[in-house]
Amino acid sequence: MKDVIIIRYGEIILKGLNKKFFEDKLAKHIRHALVDLGKPKVYKEHSRIYVDVDDYNPQEIIDRVKRVFGVVSISPAKRFPVDMEEIKKVVIQEIREKVEKYGVKTFKIESKRADKKFPMKSPEISREIGGFVLQNIEEISVDVHRPDISVHVEVRSDTAFVHSEKIEGFGGLPLETNGKALLLLSGGIDSPVAGWLVGKRGVEIEAIHFHSYPFTSERAKEKVMDLAKIVASYCGEFKIYSINLLPIQKEINEKCPEEEMTILSRRFMMKIAEKIALKFECDALVTGESIGQVASQTVKSLHVTNAAVNIPVFRPLIAMDKVDIIELAKKIGTYETSILPFEDCCTVFLPKHPVTKPKLEKILYSEELLDVEELIESAIDEMEVINTLEI
């Protein structure tokens, strides 16, 4: 008998001739998540992925695997040669452990016979095992509708599995299956969630962060690095391109209408991000914008912002309420860091009445008052590159 972790996936099953490619990527990222534990055995069988527990800590394996994109659910299980009497013994052991640990009172047996040569059909397996449990554990009864514990029995050609827990993963697609994008990462709630959501669709991410040092503090920068590290725990290590926007903001403040500061700054961020993205082979930009949340996120403002670049801009939060974004931030562990009270570059030279319905022709006219290309090149020349592994 062997302790194993069963790992299930979802969308990958629908990938047809490309299924193996997606499975291999998922297995690769599971191995990577576990590598520093000592390389437990990870392998594919029966349209699933398994990890042999051996002498490793099963909870440590589960905690790491459930953060891997593509994983739908996880079950710690017993694996052993098919034998009905052995299955009964293992089920009894499983239920007794749960009775002692959690005080369960009711149970249900759910069986799946994948091997059609096995002499008993799935309902027959469940009935026989259920009767055996009732004969051997007095303090428990059957409840097929709302049991305290559901014990799953799987019978395959040469192997049986027994498990009673199903731990949810985040689903999605494995990283490295859908290209690469550059995330505009701030210290707020939204952008880390946006990066996480795009990563969940199999997109590798890198990040660009804009600051206004010394108007913004080193602690504000550290906050963003902390957020990057959390995102990297799901999306894998990535680089952060840190850009000082202050010289550009000073030029805008000196030469352009005050109410256009926010939208002009945003367009500069997008232009710089596009240049960095193309240089480092990113196919799109990712932002945490949501319609109407702030002045730069009205539909007209987003139109003017989009006009600054030619590559796709992904906005996974675009129609989400702030409450929903906050709930997701809490779920993935970025919220508590995001709400730390440190300023970001968007608060520098913040106009009292920012334009909410900008006209592209007026914004383009204001940009003509600036040496746009020189400002962009100077900002990139002073860029700092940080790897999340170094944080």
209 is in an annotated binding site: yes
Contact by Cβ (8 Å): 238, 223: no
135 is in an annotated binding site: no
Sheet strands (E) in 212-271: 239-244
184 is in an annotated binding site: yes
Strands 71-81 and 167-168: antiparallel
Strands 71-81 and 204-211: unpaired
- With a CB cutoff of 8 Å and minimum separation 6, the contacts of 215 are 246, 343, 345, 348
163 is in an annotated binding site: no
What is the number of H-type helices and E-type strands within the chain? Answer: 13, 15
Residue position matching structure tokens 């689903």: 171
Q: What are phi and psi of 259, to 5 degrees?
A: -65, -15
Contact by Cβ (8 Å): 114, 161: no
- With a CB cutoff of 8 Å and minimum separation 6, the contacts of 153 are 87, 91, 109, 110, 111, 112, 125, 126, 129, 160, 161, 162
Give Cα separations from 137 to 132, 134, 152 (angstroms).
9, 6, 18
Residue 279 CA to residue 311 CA, distance in Å, equals 13
For 148, the token pair is 């305290």
297 is in an annotated binding site: yes
266 is in an annotated binding site: yes
Residue position matching structure tokens 């440590």: 60
Nearest 5 degrees, angle CA 366-CA 370-CA 376? 120
Q: What are phi and psi of 47, to 5 degrees?
A: 60, 35
Binding site as annotated, residues for ATP: 184-185, 209-210, 266, 288, 297
Residues at the annotated binding site? Answer: 184-185, 209-210, 266, 288, 297
